Amino acid sequence: MACCRGASLTIAAMNTSTPSSSGAQGAGSAAAASPASGSQSATSEAAHARPRIAVLATGGTIAGSAADAANTSGYQAGVVGVDRLLEAVPALSGVAQIQPEQVASIDSKDMALALWATLAQRVNALLASDDIDGVVITHGTDTLEETAYLLHLTVKSTKPVVLTAAMRPSSALSADGPLNLLNAVTVAASQAAHGQGVLVAFNNRIHSARDVVKTSTYAVDAFQSPEVGALGWVQDGRVEFQRKVVRPHTVDTEFVIGTKWPNVEIVVSYAGASRIGVDALVAAGVRGIVVAGTGNGSIHASVQQALADAVSQGVVVVRSSRVGSGHVMRNGAASDDALGFVTAGSLNPYKARVLLMLALAAGGTGAVALQKIFDTY
Ligand code: SIN
């Protein structure tokens, strides 16, 4: 892993526009060229006026490559370096001064807890510096929603953090990565994105890390925020937010990134499910189990009995739904009070696992206190 090179990419200055007071702003015209003339000092003054955005690359399809430009499914993810990703988007020069870093080069299916810690610590360190105005993270789509939510809860800054990705490799005809990257930097460079928590810019939409989920295995419009919709949009250099995130995030959470991760796993309920998986996890010593239930978090009787037994052995059980939208009602499809379960509300199982890990790492114990955390975040 080539981590954190920190080399600054100097891009010619062209746009020094300031945000409009409406909350929407143009961060720079993608079509505009670099300055035709001008003194060195004028160029450097203009460069200082543009926001300084760190672009942290972690791999994914956005950095993927296939032998054939028509191939959008058989390719290797995470093989194109951050400098090449940036070179493919000359219009970035009009939006920001970019500081690229190659934090990892992975297919995000292989995202590891240690890399999460490295990434979150790097984001926090960069944002603590007066030299950085925002961070963009390029990521694989497969676990993007988990990384985004983790950062949403552990970044200690109000500066913008924007994740982006692509559904088509960089070698593809109509690759979506370059425009997604330009839009992500545009959002990160915008005043309107401050204090909005961690964001995901994808296919012209801006989503909150809490709400966004990947909903398609192949479509370019792969990310949605079920029930609540996107926070806003970004197009042609203009950023507009249409609603605000209401739950606490970033500087308003009690969570910090550490290096010790409580072992929390996920089980699924389905027709004919057995208690084998839950019993194996308890025997392995897990601290928590998130169950992806059917419907409103309903659980096959065999699995539910195994989970109740797990609670009696000190394992925290969080009841969520595999459905993909909506929320799980406490004491609805299961008697949570009697069983000692926590309910995930509108968090999907994968995000519920992130929150449970952070809550346990922060010393959270007991179903009542943990339920309060789930009701809050
Ligand atoms: C990955 O998640 O790294 C591969 C898939 C993608 O980015 O779309």
CA of 75 to the centre of ligand 1 (A): 10
Could you read off the pLDDT of 60-95 as tens digits, one per residue?
A: 999 999 999 999 999 999 999 999 999 999 999 999
Of 73, 80, 103, 108, the residue with max ligand 1 atoms within 8 A of its CB, to mutate for a pocket test, comes to 108
User: How far is the C-alpha of 146 from the C-alpha of 148, rounded, in Å?
Assistant: 5
- Model pTM? 0.89
**What number does the ligand 1 atom closest to the CA of 167 have?**
8
Among all residues, which ones are annotated catalytic? 61
Could you read off the pLDDT of 157-207 as tens digits, one per residue?
A: 999 999 999 999 999 999 999 999 999 999 999 999 999 999 999 999 999
Closest CA relative to residue 303, chosen from 293, 312, 313: 293
165 in ligand 1 pocket by Cβ < 6 Å? yes
Average pLDDT estimate for 213-221: 98
Average pLDDT estimate for 147-161: 98
Contact between residue 18 and residue 228 where contact means Cβ atoms under 8 Å apart: no
User: How far is the C-alpha of 355 from the C-alpha of 345, rounded, in Å?
Assistant: 12
Average pLDDT estimate for 249-266: 96
Query: What residue has token string 């200690």?
Result: 156
60 in ligand 1 pocket by Cβ < 6 Å? yes
Q: What is the CA radius of gyration of the chain?
A: 22
pLDDT band with cut points at 50, 70 and 90 for residue 49? confident
User: How far is the C-alpha of 274 from the C-alpha of 266, rounded, in Å?
Assistant: 14
Contact between residue 97 and residue 77 where contact means Cβ atoms under 8 Å apart: no
pLDDT of residue 36: 36
3-state secondary structure of 290: strand
167 in ligand 1 pocket by Cβ < 6 Å? yes
Average pLDDT estimate for 53-57: 98
Contact between residue 273 and residue 376 where contact means Cβ atoms under 8 Å apart: no
Residue 316: phi and psi, rounded to 5, are: -85, 130
3-state secondary structure of 299: coil
Closest CA relative to residue 164, chosen from 113, 198, 189, 197: 198
Q: Is the pLDDT of residue 10 over 70?
A: no
User: How far is the C-alpha of 113 from the C-alpha of 208, rounded, in Å?
Assistant: 22
Q: Is the pLDDT of residue 11 over 90?
A: no
pLDDT band with cut points at 50, 70 and 90 for residue 20? very low
123 φ/ψ sector (left φ>0, alpha ψ -120 to 50, else beta): alpha
CA distances 243 to 193, 206, 281, 326, Å, are 12, 11, 40, 19
pLDDT band with cut points at 50, 70 and 90 for residue 46? low
pLDDT of residue 313: 98
CA of 61 to the centre of ligand 1 (A): 5
Q: Kindly write down the DSSP assignment for every residue of 109-126, as one continuous string.
A: GG--HHHHHHHHHHHHHH
Could you read off the pLDDT of 274-316 as tens digits, one per residue?
A: 999 999 999 999 999 999 999 999 999 999 999 999 999 999 9
Of 58, 61, 76, 144, the residue with max ligand 1 atoms within 8 A of its CB, to mutate for a pocket test, comes to 61
CA of 137 to the centre of ligand 1 (A): 13
Average pLDDT estimate for 129-135: 98
Contact between residue 81 and residue 100 where contact means Cβ atoms under 8 Å apart: no
pLDDT band with cut points at 50, 70 and 90 for residue 42? low
Kind of pairing between the strands at 52-59 and 97-106: parallel
Average pLDDT estimate for 89-115: 98
Closest CA relative to residue 50, chosen from 96, 83, 1, 9: 96
Average pLDDT estimate for 14-30: 33
Query: What residue has token string 């789509």?
Result: 141
pLDDT of residue 247: 98
Q: Quote the mean pLDDT of the chain.
A: 90
Could you read off the pLDDT of 335-377 as tens digits, one per residue?
A: 999 999 999 999 999 999 999 999 999 999 999 999 999 999 9
Question: 205, exposed or middle or buried, with CB in 10 Å at 0-12, 13-18, 19+?
Answer: buried
pLDDT of residue 24: 37
